[in-house]
């Protein structure tokens, strides 16, 4: 196996779901994979050993947040992101493009790059594709993302087309600026819900022969069905011999829909963010742990879950939220990430056994049933 | 060894420090011991496995907080405090007396007990010695505390005397109400800084032949030296064949001063509370991790500390606090509890080797030096 090698282990017999691996400088990642989000060098409230115990194989860090605080040069000085935060397995950094879209104030996008004011202290900062790559190389994750231009949906075709072609030009500049041989650079397919633009973007990026490709600019305002249809339309134009990463997505059902369509990688803040807000993901759908129905419930969130939250009662987890104890958000974050990891681990096994469609149907059926009394 | 047996393993040759053990239904506790505070069934931000890794042997829960939320009957229904919070080693609950003193609103103390308004929702609640014991039996910790009357210092001799005699009467009522054979009931010596009252209280409590005794009502406004002198005055009147517990104390130096005077047990929120506020206890004294001097400091808090915070750099811990990441308070809480446990473990070893005075002098000398550049 060589660095950044994608290996297809098994193609599901009935769906486009595929079981593969991706080799990085910090180890092999089993695909499909879910990446928890460690925005500022920490998955909120979760210690490294706890994160490992969830079954997580690769963690995402946000370039935009880390460039603001503590700053990429400080992270580099301290040995890079792995050394800085203590996670010694694979990591990925995004390009900053999405956070510019969602967080930064008074953005101005030109061909050169973006100029924005920090959402923390308002200072003016320029970020070009070259800057993004330089910063991501300083951070030193195993996978860096090309700098892209993200826009909201719905939008005009002209705006989508403009952002897509800029994303292509910025991808070439990102590739030209990229020097680290121990770091894979992934391209990002943009193009909104315009399938022909998505196809054009995917094909031109494929010509760059990057070690992996992402679908960006989804889950930004469109319906789930529009997103699934778009994944269908774009995946077929993405190289089959490279990992495919659906950025910023999503709910458990979105993961299964993506995997079914041939997506290999996912990241989302949902398990951690919802966990902090007292929502637990389970095979019976979401549980809201502040609910009075759990006040005396001696059962764990899920009988078959190995996480530390599930070594306690629902009543205890509820008590932690009602009294504002930090351990509540911590335990549900761990539970939810564990849930996502068990979900994708189950998907990997199902694909290996050519029964992904069955696995998918079982999960959806159980989710629809809801939490039994 | 029988249940609640105190065993003196070794008396230090030069000081009153002593190395012993205390047997409970959930295992043997090595003395001297420090008990982290898990007020509402959780040491704030710390998971059970992390707490075990700090070297903690016994955890304190607060009766006052737990009776308000979730309520003692719910904890009992769910199998008791051990089962509820997942800590399967020894536990101790206080009597509620101190929290009535420090937290409850519009208290009224009569011979019967206390009537107060909850600090959470203002509802009126009565708490007698019999109530406190009934609640502590429902919680089911290994050690329960007799209900006592705590007052602030300085105070008039008349007020101190009144509270001390009431504490004695309430101790007898607590003992009469106590039925659980798997739970030890400790008496609490009150009497402010009036040594003759402390002596009287200690001697009358000793006659009750309880399995352990505490010094209460210190660290409530007096100077450290006044506290140490008072410990000297009271310890000599407490039974030598029972554990001696100094309640709610204190700083690392207070622990070493107490141990030197023959105290066996301590509890304090300081390691966790200060940790949440970015203060780390170390052999070189306190470090304030928000300080800019640590911005690029690649060293761990302490070279020889096995805790997870010390597998990171000071710069990383600082970054977590500066960015408001939950992991900062979590890591420093774990570090500080680990520090306290290493401190008392070092004391136990030093006593065994008849060099407690040396250990004490070394620690104080290093604390005075401060954190090197």
Instruction: Please indicate, yes or no, whether the overall pTM of this predicted structure exceeds 0.95.
Output: yes
- Helix locations, A3-148, DSSP H: 48-53, 63-68, 72-77, 81-85, 97-102, 129-139
Facing B47 at nearest CB: one of A40, A319, A327: A327
Helix (H, G, I), strand (E, B) or coil at A357: helix
The residue among B282, B220, B288 whose CA lies nearest residue B249 is: B220
Question: What interface predicted TM-score (ipTM) does this complex get?
Answer: 0.97
| Phi and psi at residue B359, to the nearest 5° | -60, -45
Residue from A12, A142, A264, A267 carrying the catalytic annotation: A267
Report, as residue numbers or ranges, the catalytic residues of B. Answer: 94, 267
Number of Cβ atoms within 10 Å of the Cβ of B57: 23
pLDDT tens per residue across span B208-267 = 999 999 999 999 999 999 999 999 999 999 999 999 999 999 999 999 999 999 999 999
pLDDT tens per residue across span B281-298 = 999 999 999 999 999 999
Give chain B positions within 8 Å (CB) of A47.
47, 50, 308, 327, 330-331
Which positions in chain A have a beta carbon within 8 angstroms of at least one beta carbon in chain B?
40-42, 44-50, 65, 69-70, 74, 77-79, 84-86, 295-296, 298, 308, 311-313, 315-316, 319-320, 322-323, 325-327, 329-331
Facing B78 at nearest CB: one of A79, A85, A315: A315
DSSP state of B37: B
Q: Confidence class of residue A349 from pLDDT cuts 50, 70 and 90?
A: very high
Q: How far apart are CA B251 and CA B249, in angstroms?
A: 7
Q: Do A312 and B79 touch (CB under 8 A)?
A: no
Domain boundaries, chain B: 6-274, 281-368
Would you list the DSSP string of B319-347?
A: HHHHTT-THHHHHHHHHHHHHHHHHHHHH
CA-nearest residue to B311 within chain A is: A86
pLDDT tens per residue across span A243-265 = 999 999 999 999 999 999 999 99
Top residue of A51, A70, A289 to mutate, by most chain B CBs within 10 Å, is A70
pLDDT greater than 80 at residue B274: yes
pLDDT tens per residue across span B205-214 = 999 999 999 9
pLDDT greater than 60 at residue A1: no
Residue B127 near residue B100 (C-beta atoms within 8 A): yes
Give chain B positions within 8 Å (CB) of A70.
295, 315, 319, 322
pLDDT tens per residue across span A289-302 = 999 999 999 999 99
Segment B22-31 shows an average pLDDT of 98
Q: How far apart are CA B308 and CA B298, in angstroms?
A: 15
Segment A180-199 shows an average pLDDT of 98
Segment A153-180 shows an average pLDDT of 97
Q: Which value, in Å, is the radius of gyration of the alpha carbons in chain A?
A: 20
Closest-CA distance of chain A to residue B312, Å = 6
Which positions in chain B have a beta carbon within 8 angstroms of at least one beta carbon in chain A?
40-42, 44-50, 65, 69-70, 74, 77-79, 84-86, 295-296, 298, 308, 311-313, 315-316, 319-320, 322-323, 325-327, 329-331
Q: Do A49 and B329 touch (CB under 8 A)?
A: no
Q: Do A86 and B330 touch (CB under 8 A)?
A: no
Q: How far apart are CA A41 and CA A9, in angstroms?
A: 32
Q: Confidence class of residue A107 from pLDDT cuts 50, 70 and 90?
A: confident
Q: What value does the mean pLDDT of chain B take?
A: 96
CA-nearest residue to B292 within chain A is: A70
Q: Confidence class of residue A99 from pLDDT cuts 50, 70 and 90?
A: confident
- Helix locations, A218-251, DSSP H: 224-235
Segment A108-123 shows an average pLDDT of 91
Q: Do B330 and A47 touch (CB under 8 A)?
A: yes
Domain at B6-274: CATH architecture? Alpha-Beta Barrel (3.20)
pLDDT tens per residue across span B145-193 = 999 999 989 999 999 999 999 999 999 999 999 999 999 999 999 999 9
Domain at A31-40+86-267: CATH architecture? Alpha-Beta Barrel (3.20)
Residue B51 φ/ψ region, left for φ over 0, alpha for ψ in the -120 to 50 degree band, beta for the rest: alpha
pLDDT tens per residue across span B244-254 = 999 999 999 99
Interface size A-B, in CB pairs within 8 Å, comes to 122
HSE of B190, CA atoms in CB hemisphere, 13 A: 27
More confidently predicted of A330 and A105: A330
pLDDT tens per residue across span A46-65 = 999 999 999 999 999 999 99
CA-nearest residue to A326 within chain B is: B45
pLDDT greater than 80 at residue A35: yes
Q: How far apart are CA B335 and CA B283, in angstroms?
A: 12
């Amino acid at each position: 196996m060589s660095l950044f090698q994608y290996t297809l282990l098994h193609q599901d017999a009935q769906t486009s779901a595929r079981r593969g691996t991706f080799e990085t400088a910090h180890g092999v990642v089993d695909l499909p994979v879910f990446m928890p989000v460690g925005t500022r060098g920490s998955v909120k409230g979760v210690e490294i050993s706890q994160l490992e115990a969830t079954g997580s194989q690769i963690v995402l860090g946000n370039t935009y947040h880390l460039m603001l605080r503590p700053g990429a040069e400080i992270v580099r000085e301290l040995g890079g992101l792995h050394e800085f935060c203590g996670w010694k397995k694979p990591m990925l950094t995004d390009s900053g493009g999405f956070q510019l879209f969602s967080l930064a104030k008074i953005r101005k996008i030109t061909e050169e790059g973006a100029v924005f004011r920090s959402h923390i202290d308002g200072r003016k900062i320029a970020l070009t594709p070259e800057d993004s790559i330089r910063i991501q190389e300083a951070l030193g994750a195993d996978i860096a993302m090309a700098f892209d231009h993200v826009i909201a949906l719905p939008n005009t075709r002209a705006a989508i087309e403009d952002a897509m072609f800029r994303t292509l030009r910025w991808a070439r500049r990102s590739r030209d600026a990229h020097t680290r041989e121990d770091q894979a650079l992934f391209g990002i397919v943009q193009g909104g819900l315009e399938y022909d633009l998505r196809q054009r973007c995917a094909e031109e990026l494929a010509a760059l022969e990057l070690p992996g490709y992402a679908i960006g600019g989804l889950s930004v305002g469109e319906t789930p069905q529009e997103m699934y249809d778009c994944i269908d339309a774009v995946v077929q134009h993405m190289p089959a011999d490279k990992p495919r990463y659906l950025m910023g997505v999503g709910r458990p059902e979105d993961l299964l829909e993506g995997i079914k369509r041939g997506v290999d990688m996912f990241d989302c803040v949902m398990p951690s963010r919802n966990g902090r807000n007292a929502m637990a993901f389970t095979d019976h759908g979401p549980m809201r742990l502040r609910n009075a129905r759990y006040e005396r419930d001696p059962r764990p969130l899920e009988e078959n879950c190995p996480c530390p939250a599930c070594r306690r009662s629902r009543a205890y987890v509820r008590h932690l939220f009602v009294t504002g104890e930090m351990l509540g958000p911590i335990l549900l974050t761990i539970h939810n990430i564990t849930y996502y990891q068990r979900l994708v681990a189950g998907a990997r096994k199902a694909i290996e056994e050519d029964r992904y469609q069955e696995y998918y149907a079982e999960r959806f059926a159980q989710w629809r049933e809801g939490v039994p009394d």
